[in-house]
Amino acid sequence: MAPKTRAQLAEALRKRDVPDEAAGKVLDRFVELGLINDEAFAEAWVDSRHHGRGLAKRALAAELRHRGVDTETVKEAVERLDSDQEAETARRLVDRKLASTRSLDSQTRTRRLAGMLARKGYSSGLAYRVIREALEQEGIDLEDDFS
């Protein structure tokens, strides 16, 4: 069983018709014993999903909120990723996808690469900067296409 947040465990107990008062006491005790730790869960989630799937801060924050992690814990966990690290991950993702788009025109390539980065939570500014750098290394000037 994968690690769960307090909110996920509370929902599981609710689905099994465990009274809220009893569930609260059990969950409080689990927190005391260190068996539930939303902060550690959030940090591990950010590390795993950023390095494994290349997700950006925005996507990571949405996933953590969806799992019931409180806003402050989410903020602390995603702030551990610095902007340089996020940009480098975006570059790696673009480099990996670039070869499969070589037969396409530069506007289509840009659109597909930007879409891929957007789905992973990257801002449009960072996405276009990284894409422009990658295409310029191939000798393609995007300014001509978007003028």
Q: Phi/psi of residue 60, each to 5°? A: -65, -45
Pairwise CA distance, residues 128 & 70, whole Å: 32
55-72 pLDDT, tens per residue? 999 999 999 999 999 999
Q: Residue 147 above 50 pLDDT?
A: no
1: pLDDT strictly greater than 80: no
Angle, helices 57-66 vs 71-78, to 10°: value is 150
Q: Which two tokens stand for residue 97?
A: 């996808």
34: left (phi over 0), alpha (psi -120 to 50) or beta: left
Note the pLDDT of residue 39.
94
Report d(CA 139, CA 129) in Å as an integer: 15
Residue corresponding to tokens 């402050």: 72
Q: Is residue 146 over pLDDT 80?
A: no
